[in-house]
Chains A and B, each alone.
Chain A
Amino acid sequence: MAELPKIVVQKLRGIDAGTSAHPEPDLLNAFVERALTPPEREQVMQHLASCGDCREVLALAFPPRSEANVSAPVAASPWLSWPVLRWGALAACIVVVFAAVSLRNRSTTGRTHLVQQNEVSRYERAENPATAAEPSRKRTENAKTSQPFDVAQNTPPAPLELKKKEAVAGVAQPAALDKTLRAAPVLAADNKVQGAGGQAAGVMSASGAPATEARDDLVPGRAKDVAPVPATSEVAAQAGTNMAAKAQIAVSAAEDRNAPSALRTRVVPRWTLSADGTLQRSQDGGRSWQTIPVPSQATFRALASNGFDIWIGGTGGSLFHSVDGGQNWIPIQPAANGETLSDDIIGVEFTDLSHGAVTTSSSETWVTADAGRSWQKQ
């Protein structure tokens, strides 16, 4: 890049916006979102060229890159307008797809061949029991590569087989998981949630039945957020529509390494509060939403979530906590020094599973450092 003479940089620094008024947030935002007319844009640009503060505001006003990629399309690169390069790109795509399909067919054929070998070996063993010991080692070695659905094998199977295997496991396990959760409600009888004033909060499932088992066993892994898990494009493309949902489970399984194995294949849900204050959950990245019942008549206005750990707050000081993705709820009554939280809750924020703060409509803030077992009013 050509150097700029220092005198020019000095001059640029000396150029001042002068008495030109700073654009209002509406105009700057419209500039960011490309909603200005050309004359308005030129006017704003004139100011930005000479005002460092407004340039800084503009830089901060742009959404983070991940969001901007969705909403702000970049102008098409000019080189794609060359027909030769366009057709070349298309040809390259076809070659890549063809190669991928060929590789897949080859690996499938290879696996079939090995399975056939094993069948032959078994047949031979049945015919010749004396030779059973010798081929067993060979069969074991073959088994490592011929039984891709066995998770415990040391030799890693091919990536497609691995994902298929996890997907099959993932399909099987949620039913078992649901059964586990239904049989083991949230808290043990001696492990109740209490406010600092000694009030005990009973544990209730969404249906109102009391819980009896320890909650630590069912604390889910600390999935980072409730953002939708992107479908693994390679698996979805190759295995068809049916595999798309299974692939999603496999990807979340690969990411959620700290979760107990029983929970590893659960999809991290997304949460929201509807306009009428009911809690809603999506398990398909926001495509569809289900209303989640909470044992309360309150209208909920605030929500904080960390994977399957959910806090919701609403009218009349209603505060509920779930550690299993909304299946069971614990009503929480923050109390400290004889005072209890009773105003409408308008904000709930948890930085991790233990540390959080609740804000009310009367500008009170209640904080906890032990996941709601005790509270302090600030």
Chain B
Amino acid sequence: MREGGVQSGMAEPVWESLAGELFVKSRASELGLTQEAFTAVLQNIARKYLPPGHSHEHLRQFVGTLRVEELALAQACAVGNERAWEIFLTRYREKLYDIAGYVARESSAARELADSLYADLYGTSTRDGQRISKLASYTGRGSLEGWLRTVLAQEYVNRYRKQRRLVSLDEESEEGVQFAAANPEPPPAVDGRLDAATTEALAQLSAEDRFILASYYLDSRTLAEIARTLHVHESTISRKLDKIAKALRKGILANLAHKGMTRRQAQEALEVDVRDLSVNVRAELMQETAPGAFSNKKAETAAGKTPG
């Protein structure tokens, strides 16, 4: 046993005193839960989230952050306690529909989403004779209302993703079978050095910076939405995006220089998107009169050849 700490097979006296306090605080006895059952739940949660070899103090701090009253309610509902369900319905039934309305935005989809989740929470399916309720997976790390919101959001995203895939397949079968398009030209290859330099520059960013970039440029989130997610002011995100974009450019140019490009070549490589360039060339060729010299020159530059 480490000095000042305990092994993960936690000493019984530690759990007895902690669990006793938490059992009283959670009012689990009013919901038909025994102290042994509640202690077992807490031990499972601690085992899940705490590293092996954690100390008493760490354990005490961790369980102190748990929402034990809501945890007791969820666990009692999961085992089918009627009193617990009365309380749960009173507190959360309307909220569930409100949350579903916010997530799905459309009333019939929202109702379907809420009813479906309600069935999962109630535990309409069984395994080996045991009722399976989604509420059993709530661990009290955050509020029960927030957990319901997250579960609803996940369910909605999963459903929407499935529908998107199904629609894509339908479109593909209609267009692919009956009206087979001519084989498209393979996309022009990006300069390998530029590709590598960009990958390296992105890898140097922190996870939060990449999250901000992805949220803004891929998900089209507004600055306000991103700021809310990270609990900062909108102007902070605006400044951060600017800073990250500049840092990326600087990083890519530095990497390209390191790979043998001149500064001018590196800048041009970064400015010109080869896919745009090839489209332009095709458009130029389709015209009756085509000023191709400038385009050709740019193509040569992008490919790394020295102009002139």
Contacts and interface: CB of A to CB of B under 8 A. Distances in A.
B150 A32 contact: yes
A271 to B, nearest CB: 10
A63 B248 CA distance: 33
A3 to B, nearest CB: 7
Contacts of B231: 34, 72-75
Contact of A68 (B137, B228, B252): B228
Interface in A294-349: 299, 301-304, 346-347, 349
A28 B152 CA distance: 12
Interface in B219-273: 219, 221, 225, 227-229, 231-233, 235-236, 238, 241-242, 245-246, 248-249, 252, 270-271, 273
Nearest to B209: A49
Contacts of A12: 202, 210, 213-214, 217-218
B232 A1 contact: no
Contacts of B35: none
Contacts of A49: 207-208, 210-211, 214
Given A4-B245, A11-B199, A273-B90, A30 B213 contact: no
A61 B156 CA distance: 11
A8 interface: yes
B154 interface: yes
B214 A25 contact: no
A26 interface: yes
Contacts of A40: 49
B93 interface: yes
A7 B198 contact: yes
B175 interface: no
Interface in A43-64: 45-46, 48-50, 52-53, 55-64
Interface string B190-213: 100011001101100001101101
B14 interface: no
Contacts of B15: none
A210 B261 CA distance: 93
Contacts of A272: 90
B107 to A, nearest CB: 8
A275 interface: yes
Contacts of A56: 153, 157, 219
B147 A7 contact: no
A57 B190 CA distance: 33
Given A4-B245, A26-B141, A35-B142, A46 B207 contact: yes
Given A26-B147, A35-B141, A52 B153 contact: no
A347 B93 contact: yes
A65 B102 CA distance: 11
Contacts of A346: 89, 93
Interface residues of B, number: 68
B273 A6 contact: yes
Contacts of A240: none
A277 interface: yes
B9 interface: no
9 contacts: A2-B246, A8-B213, A8-B248, A24-B137, A35-B141, A63-B149, A64-B102, A74-B232, A273-B90
Nearest to A75: B232
B141 A302 contact: no
B55 interface: no
A290 interface: no
A207 to B, nearest CB: 26
A61 B146 contact: yes
A53 B214 CA distance: 12
A370 interface: no
B146 A53 contact: no
B40 interface: no
Contacts of A347: 89, 93
A4 B248 CA distance: 8
B232 A29 contact: no
Nearest to B271: A5
A269 to B, nearest CB: 16
B142 A5 contact: no
A70 B80 CA distance: 34
A42 interface: yes
A4 B150 CA distance: 32
Contact of B150 (A36, A57, A274): A57
A112 B139 CA distance: 66
Contact of A26 (B102, B142, B152, B232): B142
A75 to B, nearest CB: 5
A72 B228 contact: yes
B94 A303 contact: yes
B210 A50 contact: yes
Given A32-B146, A35-B141, A57-B154, A13 B218 contact: yes
Nearest to A7: B198
Nearest to B201: A8
A61 B103 CA distance: 8
B146 A33 contact: yes
Closest 8 CB pairs of A and B: A60-B153, A2-B245, A49-B210, A29-B142, A30-B141, A45-B207, A25-B150, A61-B150
A63 B228 CA distance: 10
Contacts of B157: 53, 56-57, 60
B86 A301 contact: yes
Contact of B245 (A3, A55, A304): A3
B65 interface: yes
Given A9-B217, A52-B219, A58-B153, 17 more contacts: A1-B245, A3-B245, A11-B195, A11-B198, A12-B213, A26-B138, A30-B142, A33-B143, A33-B146, A34-B231, A35-B65, A56-B219, A60-B153, A60-B156, A273-B90, A277-B90, A347-B93
Contact of A55 (B137, B150, B190, B215): B215
A77 interface: yes
Contacts of A55: 211, 214-215, 219
A259 interface: no
Contacts of A303: 94
B24 to A, nearest CB: 18
Nearest to A14: B199
Nearest to A44: B207
B165 interface: no
